Every structure is written in structure tokens, then in C-alpha cells.
Amino acid sequence: MRHCIIDSPDGGVELASPTKVESLCYYAMLETDAWDDTKPTDMPVLELFGEHGSRTGPGRDPLGALQVFFPNARAHTMLGASHSGPMEQPAVYEELVREFIAGL
């Protein structure tokens, strides 16, 4: 993270790269044929989302794309967290991962 953020004048932090550049990088990752030969698997998967992240909210199905490859995937939304939930709430993240692993 130390290379991705810079201090902002108000005492907080902000992305080091312009938001548009970052979003274009993520968009380009989706435009690939790398997934074409991937076959669904029964491997258990836990997908964690931040309540305030871009993949959650009304009308969104954060698990939809993942369940194509991992039909048994489960999701959990970390309340109060953003996209960086594991860094914002490391104890909550650890607890969720440990619970998931214990249930395997």
C-alpha cells in the first residue's frame, strides 16, 4: 500500500495514480481470454466484500461472475469496510477466514 497511496492535504490519504488510470487498469484485466479454458470446480471459496466497495449495493451480484467457476462460492460483506476491508479491519478479516477454514 505504501506505493499506492500518498498523503492528502487534509491529513488523510489518496490514490497515488489518478482514479481513471487505475480503473482502466482493472478494466483491461477483465478484457482477456485467460479464463476461456477454465472449468468449474467444487473447490470452496470465500469471497469477502466491503460494504462500501464497488461490487456491492442495490442491483449488484458480487458472486455472480465467480460462481461460474466456483459454484460453491460463498460471500460475506464486511460492514463498514471499503474495497480495502482486510487492511481496514484485519481482526474481522482474520476471524472470517479462520471460520471459513474451520468449516471445510
Report pLDDT digits (tens) over 9-26.
998 887 777 777 777 777
Assess contact for 65 and 71: CB atoms under 8 A.
no
How large a percentage of the chain has pLDDT more than 90? Answer: 37
Assess contact for 15 and 42: CB atoms under 8 A.
no
Give the mean model confidence (pLDDT) for residues 74-97. Answer: 92
Q: How far apart are CA 47 and CA 42, in angstroms?
A: 15
Report pLDDT digits (tens) over 23-74.
777 777 766 777 778 889 999 999 999 998 887 778 888 888 888 899 999 9
* pLDDT above 70: residue 2: no
What's the pLDDT at 48?
93
Q: How far apart are CA 100 and CA 98, in angstroms?
A: 5
What's the pLDDT at 3?
62
What's the pLDDT at 8?
84
